[in-house]
Structure 1
Amino acid sequence: MKVKHFILVAAIFTIVSGDLNVVIAAEKPNQITIFSGRQGGSWYGMGGGLAKVFIDSGVKSSAEVGGGISNVAMVGAGKGELGFSMSIVPRMGRLGLAPFKSKVTNVKAIAQLAYSKVHVVVSKASGINSVAGLKGKKFASQPVGNVTTEAFKAVLAAHGMTEADLVLTRGGQGYGAKEMKDRRIVGYTATTSVPSPSFSDVSQSLDVKFLNVDDATFAAMKKENPGFIRDTIPAGSYRGQTKAVSTAATAMILVVNDSMPDAHAHWIAKTMSENIATLRKIHKSWGNLTVKAMAAVSGIKLHPGAAKYYKSAGAM
C-alpha cells in the first residue's frame, strides 16, 4: 500500500510540476519585436540593447527600425510587441491628430525610460530673447511627424503662433547646427537629451542663447497635452550657459498593445527591472534609471500587468 501510495503521489507531483512548468513558460512572450528608431540612431542602439536583455532571459527578440510616432501606430496595429515613443505622442494618437491617419486608442505603457528636453537655441548676435522674437526669422525645426516638430509647434501655439509665422527650414540636429554655424538661420530646435552633441558643437562655435519656456507657456502646453513635463536644462550644460534654462520635457516611454496578456506585460516589466544595471549601461540617458522612475509614466496609462509588477516591487 505504501509503495502504491508513493507512486500515486509521485505521479501527481509529476503531472502538477509539468503543468506548473507550462504555466511558467506561458508567462513569457513567445517573441518580442521592438520598434525603435532610425538605423544608426540612439534609439536603434537602445532597442538592440533591450532585445539582448530579453534574449538573455530566454525570449527571442529583435529591434526593428521605427520612429516615435510610427511606433505607436505599429504597436496599435499589432505589428510588434513593443515600441519606443514619447509621452506627448499617445494623446495625439488617441485623438487621431496629424500625422496619425486614424485614431490609436489601444496602447498602454510598460515603462518610462528617460527625458528629452525642449531646446530652442538662437545666436546672441540675433538679439532674440524670447520665442515671440522668432516671428519672421529664418529658423530650423525637424521633419514633419518628428516628436521635436510637434513639441515646437506646441511651444509656438502657447505664444499664439504657428510654424507659418517663421521662415522655417527642416532637418535633423546636425543640419540645424550646420545651418546655424554658417549663419543661414538664427537658430534651431530639438527635443533631445542633455547634453546634446549638436548643441554642444554649435555653442563651441558661436555665442548662443537658449530660450526659456516660461510658466505660462508651459501651463498652456500641459493643458493641451498632459504628456509634457516641467524641467530645466541645468546651468553649465553648454558653453556660455551660466544659468539654468526653464523648459518642457517629454519622456521616452515603452508602449505595448493593450491586448497583451497581463502575464506577458508583468514578465517584461520584471525582466527589465531585474536587469536595470544592464539597462543603465545601454545608453547614457538611462544611466540613472530606477524601477520607481520606470513606473512613473506620463501621458499614458500603465498596462495592468506592468502596474501589478511595479506595485509588488514597491515602486508605486
Structure 2
Amino acid sequence: MRNIYLAAVLGLAMTTTAHSEPLNLNLSGGNPGGLWSLLGAGIDRAVRADDPNSVITYQATGGGFANIGLLATGRTDLGLMHDAEAKIALSGEEPFKAPITNLRAIGYMYNWAPMHFFLTKAMADKYNIDSIDDIATSGAPIRIGINRSGNITSNVALMMLEQAGVTDEVLTGNGGQLVRAGANEQGELIQDGRLDMITNGIFINHSSFRSVDENVDVVLLSVPQDVIDATNKAFGTGEMVIPAGSYKNQTTDVNTVSLGAILVATDKMDDATAHNLAASLLKNVGEIRAVHKSMQDLTPELMAKPSVIEFHPGAAKAYAEAGLSQ
C-alpha cells in the first residue's frame, strides 16, 4: 500500500512539473515599434506573470503574410496575422501557391481596425460625394492612396472600391489614379495636395489619421452595406461603426469593414503548450491591455471568439475551462 501511495505521489509530482514547465516560444510580429511589437511584449509579460522563467521572444517581420509563411514552414512557434490574411492563406490565394492548412488559433487579439476612406472636403463638395459608391459616377479625377502591395489593407481597400464600382479603368477614365503608399506617407501626400483621398484599416484616431484630420479639411466617406457584406464574405473580416464625431467633419455614424488580428500557432504545437499559453493570456489579460490605449477593449470573451482559423485543441480546452464558448 505504501508503494502504491508513493507511486501516486510521484506521478502527481511529474504531472505538476510537466504542466508548469516554462514556455519558451518565438513570436513573429510586424515592424519594430509598431502595435504588434507592443503586443509581443504584452504576451511575454502575461506568460512571465505565471512563470518568471517563461519567455516569448519577439521577432520583427514583414507582417502577417510573412508570418504565415514562417509558420507554414516551421520557422516560428507563433505569429500574428490579420483575419483577412489568414482567410487568403486558407484559400491558397496570392501570395500563396497552395492552401496553408496547419494554422491553429490561440486567440483573437483585437477586431477594431476599421477601414477608413478620407476624401478632401473640396473634392467631396465639388462632385457631391459622401459615399465610396458615389466616386464611380461622379466623374471626379481622384488620386486615391492605398497601402503598398503585401499589406492586407490594400487588398481590402481595392475590393471595397471595386465592389462600389471604382475600378482602375473607371478611375483613370475620370483622370484619377491609384497611388501606392504606406499610412504615414499617405498622410504626407494628402497634406501636400498630391493625393485627394486616403484609405487604410487602422484604429479610430490613429496618429496618422489624426494628423490628417487636424491639418487637412477631409470628410469620412460612408460605405454601402452590400460592399461591407461582400468584403466580409471574401476576407472573413467584420463590421464596425465609426461613431459620429470621431473626426471633425463627421456628423453621422459610419459603418465599415473592420480587420482583426489573431495570435496563431500550428498543429505541431503540443496541446499542453497551447493550453498553458492560452490560460496565461486569459489570466493575465491586463498585461496585454496595458501595452497601448488601443488595447483597452481586449477581453477574455474576445480572445475566445471564433475566427477564420480553428482553435488549437489546447487553447480551446483553456477557454472551455474558463467557461468561454467558441
TM over 0.5: yes
Corresponding residue for residue 144 of structure 2 = 139
Is structure 2 residue 266 aligned with structure 1 residue 248? no
Equivalent pair of 2:43/2:287 in contact (CA under 8 Å): no
**CA shift at 1:9, angstroms?**
5.9
C-alpha distance in 2, partners of 1:164/1:197? 33
| 1:237 paired residue among 246, 258, 265 | 246
**Could you tell me which residue of structure 2 aligns to residue 39 of structure 1?**
32
* Aligned match for 2:116, one of 111, 115, 119: 119
User: How far apart are the structure 2 equivalents of 1:9 and 1:54?
Assistant: 35
Is residue 298 from structure 1 mapped to residue 291 from structure 2 by the alignment? no
Aligned mates of 1:300, 1:9 — CA distance in 2: 45
Contact 1:120 1:188 in 2 (8 A): yes
Match 2:227 to one of 211, 217, 221: 217
Tell me how far 1:191 sits from its aligned partner: 0.4
* Conserved 8 A contact 2:45-2:287: no
Output the amino acid matched with 1:131.
I
Q: Map 1:15-30 to 2 at 5 A.
A: 15-25=10-20, 29=23
> In structure 1, how many angstroms separate the alpha carbons of the residues matched to 2:313 and 2:169?
42
Q: Which amino acid aligns with 1:110?
A: I
CA distance in 1, matches of 2:178, 2:320: 46
Identify the range of structure 1 (165-174 vs 155-164) with the bigger mean alpha-carbon deviation. Answer: 155-164
Give the aligned residue type for 2:131. S
The aligned residue for residue 94 of structure 1 is 90
Residue 80 in 1 paired to residue 80 in 2?
Answer: no
Structure 2 Cα separation of the partners of residues 134 and 100 of structure 1: 32
SS of 2:226's partner is helix
Tell me, in whole angstroms, the C-alpha distance in 2 between the residues paired with 1:110 and 1:268: 8
Moved more, 10-19 or 292-301: 10-19
The answer (yes or no) to whether the contact 1:156–1:163 under 8 Å persists in 2 is no
Take 1:21 and 1:242, find their aligned partners in 2: how far apart are those partners? 58
Matched residues, percent identical?
Answer: 29
| Counterpart residue number, 2:183 | 173
* Deviation at residue 224 of structure 1 after TM alignment: 2.0
1:13–1:103 CA distance, 2 compared to 1 (3 A): closer
Displacement of 1:177 after TM fit?
A: 0.9
Match of 2:297 in 1: 288
Q: Is the 8 A contact 1:203 1:239 kept in 2?
A: yes
Mapping for residues 273-284 of structure 1, pairs under 5 Å? 273-284=282-293
* Alpha-carbon distance in 2 for matches of 1:250, 1:163: 24
- Taking a change above 3 Å as real, the CA distance of residues 169 and 39 of structure 1, as seen in their structure-2 partners, is same
Mind listing any 5+ residue stretches in structure 2 that lack a counterpart?
A: 172-176
> Normalising to structure 1: TM-score of the pair?
0.90
| Alpha-carbon distance in 1 for matches of 2:189, 2:169 | 19
Rounded to whole Å, the distance in 2 between the matches of 1:140 and 1:260 is 40
Question: 1:308 is matched with which residue: 312, 317, 326?
Answer: 317
Describe how 1:147-162 pairs up with structure 2 within 5 A. 147-162=152-167
CA distance in 1, matches of 2:276, 2:25: 12
Aligned AA (2:91): L
Shift, 1:131, TM fit: 2.1
SS state of the match for residue 288, structure 1?
coil
Cα deviation for residue 13 of structure 1 reads 4.8
Distance 1:78 1:116, change over 3 A: same
Q: TM-score, normalised by structure 2?
A: 0.87
Q: Distance in 2 between matches of 1:239 and 1:34?
A: 38
CA contact (8 A) 2:147 2:181 kept: yes
